[in-house]
Amino acid sequence: MAAIRVENLVKKYKNGVQALDGLSLRVNDGEIFSLLGQNGAGKSTLINVLTTYLRPTSGSVTMFGKDIYRESAAIRAQISCVAQRTSIDIHLSLTENMMFQSKLYKVSKSEAKKRMETLIKVFGLERYLKYSVSSYSGGIKRRLDIALSMMSNPKVLFLDEPTVGMDIQSRIAMWNMMKKIRNDFGTTIFLTTHYLEEADQLSDTICIMKKGKEVIQGMPHALREYLRQDMMKISFATKEEAKSCFQQLKSVIALKEIDLRHDKIITNLKNNHSDLEKANRWLLDYKIPFLGIEIMQPTLEDVFIRLTGENGKEVY
């Protein structure tokens, strides 16, 4: 059974902004599901709808087969959400925070204690117990926040951009924590992110959304190939130079129309970088004026362009 099924979801805010525009997706039970999208794509709106804080304009959402609006009380007892703002009380200790959380969910004290000890152990939080919560770094606070949200033993955990602004060490610690939640507790994780790498490293299923609608979902294997393929970027001084080079370079290496982006040529590299050597040699042999040639990792925008064939942006 699907943990979550969203069909044709529309959310129009009072100010007229249509944050969700007929979005559909499916989250499998027990998986880490990543929703990838840029700022303003509608990720937080979707999380707010899925956690029953916002009512959609139209469309349906079921969780484990139940309509989340008709049975919202039952649904709320089974989910937990860590929003972009932290919910820890810095005047309480780590353990006081955890016990307080369990009260909100009406977990018995002895049960809560047991659970707290398990969580502290599983997430390696022992070493922070002796310090006051106000002294924790942002990354530790976030991990505590997630540990808190696990006190109610949720079936689904929602995380809105859990690693935004974190350094790589904290991010890796967070990824390990999420994997533990899935593996040790069987909790389904629904997370949003705008980091390609995060979705790639962590998730069983990826859904990419843009402007309130899914662009592609599932197919983690095929998607991974897109996400991991190196790109070659050739920069020029002007748009005209890029265009003229593009026309000629087409006969040397395979290029698509969407690879010409303003004053740059950006294309994915196949065949072990031999295209890079070919292009480089050709540029030098024919004394083509260019600013630089480099290998780069694809960005979310690159993936969008390749998936949708759209190249509407002029700023690269």
Ligand X SMILES: Nc1ncnc2c1ncn2[C@@H]1O[C@H](COP(=O)(O)OP(=O)(O)O)[C@@H](O)[C@H]1O
CB-based contact 182:191 (threshold 8 Å): no
Number of residues in the chain: 316
Tell which positions 12-41 bind ligand X, by CB under 6 A. 13, 15, 17, 19, 37, 39-41
Rounded to 10 deg, the angle between the 168-185 and 138-149 helix axes is 10
From the CB of residue 187, how many other CB atoms can be counted at a distance below 10 Å? 23
Site membership for ligand X, residue 90 (CB under 6 A): no
Site membership for Mg ion, residue 44 (CB under 5 A): yes
Sequence-separated (6 or more) residues with CB below 8 Å from residue 56: 9, 10, 11, 20, 49
Site membership for Mg ion, residue 45 (CB under 5 A): no
Sequence-separated (6 or more) residues with CB below 8 Å from residue 266: 231, 232, 233, 234, 259, 302, 316
CB-based contact 59:7 (threshold 8 Å): yes
From the CB of residue 67, how many other CB atoms can be counted at a distance below 10 Å? 12
Residue (4 or 300) nearer to ligand X, CB: 300
Q: How far is the CB of 53 from Mg ion (least distance, A)?
A: 13
Q: Choose the binding region for Mg ion from 40-48, 167-175, 259-267, 268-276 (rule: CB under 5 A).
A: 40-48
Residue nearest to Mg ion (CB): 44
Site membership for ligand X, residue 85 (CB under 6 A): no
Residue (9 or 119) nearer to Mg ion, CB: 9
Residue (37 or 56) nearer to ligand X, CB: 37
């662009």: which residue's tokens? 215
Site membership for ligand X, residue 43 (CB under 6 A): yes
Site membership for Mg ion, residue 51 (CB under 5 A): no
* Footprint on this chain of Mg ion (rule: CB under 5 A): 43-44
* Footprint on this chain of ligand X (rule: CB under 6 A): 13, 15, 17, 19, 37, 39-45
